[in-house]
Structures are given as structure tokens and as C-alpha cells.
Amino acid sequence: MNKISSLLQKIENAKSLDFGIIFSESIELFKKTWLQGFLLQLFTLIIMMPLIIVLYLPLIGMAIAQQESGYSDPEAFGGFFAGMSILYVLFIIVGVFVLGAVSVAINAAFFRIIKKLDHNEAVSTSDFFYFIKGKYLSKIFVLMLASIGIAIVAALLCYLPIFYVIVPLSYFSLIYAFNPELSVGEIVKVSFKLGNKKWLITFGLVIVASILSQIVGFLLCGIGLLFTAAFVYHPTYLIYKHVIGFDEIDAIDEIGLLSE
């Protein structure tokens, strides 16, 4: 039996999961991973910072210039956007996709870190950059394009389907993290299979985890969000763990051994 058939069969034969147990396990696991979750948010901000600067610096400069001149020209911003060169717009679009792919790669690596900590293994900061390599980034880039395309199609269908696809989409980077040898099409297939099989519990856990992380983050003066935001990744990881599980030597380590 090949890998894709094995994954699909495990999902099909999966037993029902208890909401309370998964949520309790998520909290216990978060106690081990909160520091790495903080680093995840920090690295994501650092990655996106160049794009934010390039996108907003011209607007900030224009606002300052208007303030110094002593008058406000409401048509200035419209003229600015009209005068933006095609190259500048393309640069922004390419930047969004490239940095987005790097961000997805770090998110996938975070799932790998969660697994290590869950199994009481040692982790290092370099583990966050495991997938930032050419052989991984190219597939991640295509996977990101696929997720964007699916989300756009769902949104065009009167937005209601977006509530369905948001669950399978949440499994894309997770499935890839532990099965990087699968093709993009196979990752999408497994993600939708798992998302459809465990849609209700996944949706409920993600919503509750998101609300809880935001409430606790705001109670910690807002900056606490940097520490609590990663909590939302734990329920999906645990669902994957209980439904599919891990081989003694997972695909990532196996690829690493073959490449040596």
C-alpha cells in the first residue's frame, strides 16, 4: 500500500474524537510549546516587516509632507495610487507571494517542533527554518497558490462555502509538514479528506482556541497575543496525531537520511 492510500485509509477508519479531551490535551501541550509559539509570531513579524515598510513608507512620507506644507490635498492620495508604476505593483505582488511562502514554511516547521516537544525531544531555533530550502519552498509556493485559488472560488460562491473549506485549508501546512514527499494534489486530497471527516470538531476547536487565545492575549495588555496566538495550531496537530499518527521514522527524517 502506498503512502497516500495509507493516509486516506487511516482517516476513513478513524474513531470519533472527544472535544473536551482534545482541548485539554491542547492546553497541556501548549505549556510545553508557548516559547516556540512566541518565536513563531516573532519570526513572522520579522519576515513581513520589509513588505510592510515598502508598502506603507511612501504613504507615510506623503502624509508627513502634507502636514509640513500646512494644507491637506484630498486628491493627493488618489493621484499617488494612479501614478504607481506597474513595476512597483508587481514588486508588491511578488513580495506578498514570496514572503507568504516563507511564512507557510515556518508554520509547517512549527508543527514539526510541536511534535518534537510532544515527544519530549530537544528542539533548537534552527528547526524553524527546516523547510526554507529550495526543494521545499517550490512545493510550498504551489501549495499556497492552490489554497488561495480554493479560497477565492469559495468566496465567489456567495461566501457560504468558505465556512466549509476553511477547515481543510487549515490542514494544508500540517499535512505537508509530516508528509513533504506527497505531491501538491495529494496534500490537497488528504487535507480535504481529513477536514471533511473531522470538520465539526476541527471547526469548533479552532474557533474556541482562537477566541481563548485572543481573550488571554488582550488580558495580558495586548502583547500577550504574541505568546498565545500559536495556541490555535495545537488542536489540529492533535487531531492529526489521533487520526493519522506518526511513523517511527517520519517522512521528513527519512528524506534527510536519504539525502546524506
For the record, the C-alpha cell of 81 comes out as: 495610487
- Burial state string for 8-23 with b = 16 or more CB within 10 A and e = fewer than 16: beebeebeebeeeebb
Closest CA to 190 of 9, 12, 8: 8
Question: Per residue in 117-171, pLDDT tens?
Answer: 999 999 999 999 999 988 899 999 999 999 999 999 998 887 788 889 999 999 9
The mean pLDDT value for 165-183 works out to 95
Q: With a cut of 50, say whether residue 246 has pLDDT above it.
A: yes
How much is the CA Rg of the chain, to the nearest whole Å?
Answer: 21
Question: Per residue in 53-90, pLDDT tens?
Answer: 776 666 666 666 556 555 555 555 555 555 556 777 78
Closest CA to 110 of 242, 245, 233, 28: 233
Q: Is the torsion defined by CA of 64, 66, 71, 72 positive or negative?
A: negative
Q: In Å, how far are 70, 74, 155, 192, 211 from 187, measured between CA atoms? A: 57, 48, 21, 9, 28
Question: Per residue in 206-244, pLDDT tens?
Answer: 999 999 999 998 888 878 889 999 999 999 999 999 999
Q: Roughly what angle, to the nearest 10 degrees, separates helices 199-219 and 19-69? A: 50
Please give the pLDDT value at position 80.
Answer: 55
DSSP states of 126-178: GGGGTT-SHHHHHHHHHHHHHHHHHHHHHHHTTSHHHHHHHHHHHTHHHHHHH
* Close Cβ partners of 196 (under 8 Å, ≥ 6 residues apart): 168
Share of the chain above pLDDT 70, in %: 82
The mean pLDDT value for 97-114 works out to 93
pTM of the model: 0.84
The mean pLDDT value for 166-184 works out to 95
What confidence tier does 52 reach under pLDDT thresholds 50, 70, 90? Answer: confident
Q: Higher-confidence residue: 47 or 113? A: 113
Please give the pLDDT value at position 68.
Answer: 54
Please give the pLDDT value at position 94.
Answer: 83
The mean pLDDT value for 1-22 works out to 92
* Close Cβ partners of 117 (under 8 Å, ≥ 6 residues apart): 29, 32, 33, 36, 123
The mean pLDDT value for 182-187 works out to 94
- Cα 129 from Cα 108, distance rounded (Å): 10
Place of cell 473549506: 165
Which H or E run includes 250? Answer: none
Please give the pLDDT value at position 220.
Answer: 81
Give yes or no for a contact between 188 and 146, defined as CB atoms under 8 angstroms apart: yes
